[in-house]
Amino acid sequence: MKKEKKKSNYLRAIGAVAWKDLAAELRSRELLSGMLVFSLLVILIFNFALELDAKTRTSVTAGVIWVTFVFAGTLGLNRSMAIEKDRGCLDGLLLAPVDRSAIYFGKAISNLAFMFIVEIIILPTYSFLYNINLFQPGLLLVILLGSIGYTAVGTLLSAMSVQTRTRDVMLPILLFPVIVPVLIAAVKASGGYLQNLPLDQILPWINLLIVYDVIFIAISFMVFDYVVEE
């Protein structure tokens, strides 16, 4: 009975941290609007940089949408941790009598929610602009798995980068080399769905994404304490 209560407390702490971020964001809409406009601009730039005509589109769409998500994602990750640090909220959170990993999971969930909102708006926009149907269940699964892996590592590393002197520059430099596997697997799997490849050619990449997600959620869970320790 007691153990069950402890568990529900932990989950409630996670929910509280995530809800706090979402509520703050719903009122200010600073972060989401920034991420959204930024990702629309990235797509616009890609349109001219790559000349996305009908022929190139089929082969590069997966790459373009993932680069857009990754870039917009760093913007969001940076901002969501910087807010905590600047106004001393992080110290307040750390004083709360909950396990520190609950803070990590709360932050990760709110970051993931922001990514999803951006993705939900970018996908139809892209489909509309380039006449490609991006709403396939398989593709959405890949985007889900890829975003989870990305935010799992990103939340951990952004908690580190905001505590350094050159923080805005630091996050992408730390994050990009370690998310290469996510990017490769996500681009390959999304490309596979867009080109209607048979499932047995896509499945290995989805497995890779799942393995990456599990490993890095576990690692972040274990080391987050060391990152926020004073």
Partner 1 sequence: MNSKPTALRTLDIISLILLVIATYLALVFAPTEKVMGEVQRVFYFHVGAAWVGLLGFIGAGVTGIIYLKTQNLKWDLVEQAAVEISLVFFFIAIVLGSIWARPIWNTWWTWDPRLTSASIVELIYLAYLMLRQGIDDPDRRARFGAVYTLVGAISVPITFLSIRMFRTIHPVVIGSKSAAADGGFSMTGDMKIAFFFALFTFTVIFIDLFWNRIRLGQLEQKVEQLKLKVME
The binding site for partner 1 (CB under 8 A) comprises 153, 156-157, 160-161, 163-167, 170, 173-174, 176-181, 184-185, 188, 204-205, 208, 211-212, 215-216, 219, 223, 226-227, 229
177 versus 198: smaller Cβ distance to partner 1: 177
Burial class (CB in 10 A: 0-12, 13-18, 19+), 125: middle
94 versus 184: smaller Cβ distance to partner 1: 184
Per residue, the 3-state secondary structure of the chain, as one string, reads CHHHHHHHHHHHHHHHHHHHHHHHHHHHCHHHHHHHHHHHHHHHHHHHHHCCCHHHHHHHHHHHHHHHHHHHHHHHHHHHHHHHHHCCHHHHHHHCCCCHHHHHHHHHHHHHHHHHHHHHHHHHHHHHHHCCCCCCHHHHHHHHHHHHHHHHHHHHHHHHHCCCCCHHHHHHHHHHHHCHHHHHHHHHHHHHHHCCCCHHHHHHHHHHHHHHHHHHHHHHHHHHHHHHCC
Q: How far is the CB of 202 from partner 1 (least distance, A)?
A: 12
Q: How far is the CB of 197 from partner 1 (least distance, A)?
A: 14
147 versus 161: smaller Cβ distance to partner 1: 161
53 versus 229: smaller Cβ distance to partner 1: 229
Q: How far is the CB of 86 from partner 1 (least distance, A)?
A: 17
Q: How far is the CB of 88 from partner 1 (least distance, A)?
A: 17
104 versus 126: smaller Cβ distance to partner 1: 104
35 versus 202: smaller Cβ distance to partner 1: 202
Q: How far is the CB of 56 from partner 1 (least distance, A)?
A: 20
Q: How far is the CB of 178 from partner 1 (least distance, A)?
A: 4
| Residue 15: partners with Cβ closer than 8 Å, 6 or more residues away | 106
Count the Cβ atoms, other than its own, within 10 Å of residue 185.
23
